[in-house]
Chain A
Amino acid sequence: SQTIHQWPATLVQPVGSPLSLECTVEGTSNPNLYWYRQAAGRGLQLLFYSVGIGQISSEVPQNLSASRPQDRQFILSSKKLLLSDSGFYLCAWSVHGGLEAQHFGDGTRLSIL
């Protein structure tokens, strides 16, 4: 069966520090991968999605970037964090080439001080 792992679960970072959140998927090949942010009391905002290695689509201009160095690895990064980057970050995967459900990781709670 397929599993998705996100880490760390929680992170407290000072303003201006770098960020790296990692997501890996097991049990499937060539998945579509997604990064979402969920601000407090808000819905889900799609940040990036990827349909293959090195292929990243950005949904909104922001202080973040994403990379997919390996088939089942998706990384969310920032060079300098802003207060507004605080939130709950979720990684998800879906079957490539389909319109099927997305499956989510447990999320990372990011607090910027």
Chain B
Amino acid sequence: AQSVTQLGSHVSVSEGALVLLRCNYSSSVPPYLFWYVQYPNQGLQLLLKYTTGATLVKGINGFEAEFKKSETSFHLTKPSAHMSDAAEYFCAVSRMDSSYKLIFGSGTRLLVRP
């Protein structure tokens, strides 16, 4: 069965510092992977996705993630945090069957200190 683990329910960084949000998955077949961001009282917005091809994926708002099959990881990074990055971030993996469902991690709340 597929699953997603996000390490750290809360991550705090200073403005301008590197952002690193961790995501590990388990899957018996090559997965499709996604990162979403959720601002308070809003829906989830797709940041980036990995399906096939290049393992370093660039997304919106300066975020990127690298698919590392050997480590079963898909960590999200941004070189320099901005106050507007404060939000909750969800990693997800696509069920590789006909159910078309996504399996979401439990989320990581990013706090950005001035």
Contact = CB atoms under 8 A, between A and B. Distances in A.
A86 interface: no
Contacts of B36: 104
B7 interface: no
Nearest to A98: B100
Given A106-B42, A107-B41, A109-B41, A101 B100 contact: no
Classify the secondary structure of B's interface with A: loop
Interface in B88-106: 90, 94-96, 99-102, 104-106
Interface string B61-99: 000000000000000000000000000001000111001
B43 interface: yes
Size bracket, chain A contacts: 20 to 34
Classify the secondary structure of A's interface with B: strand
Nearest to B104: A44
Interface residues of B, number: 23
Contact of A107 (B43, B94, B96, B101): B43
Contact of A90 (B44, B96, B101): B44
Contact of A43 (B100, B101, B104): B104
B70 to A, nearest CB: 22
A106 B43 contact: yes
Nearest to B102: A102
Given A104-B44, A104-B45, A99 B94 contact: yes
A51 interface: yes
B46 interface: yes
B104 A32 contact: no
A101 B41 CA distance: 21
Contact of A104 (B32, B43, B94, B96): B43
B105 A43 contact: yes
Identify the interface centre among A51, A88, A99: most chain B CB within 10 Å of its CB: A99
A90 to B, nearest CB: 6
Nearest to A107: B43
Interface of B: 32, 34, 36, 41-46, 49, 51, 90, 94-96, 99-102, 104-107
Can you list the 5 inter-chain pairs with the closest CB atoms, starting with the nearest? Answer: A104-B43, A99-B94, A104-B44, A43-B106, A44-B104
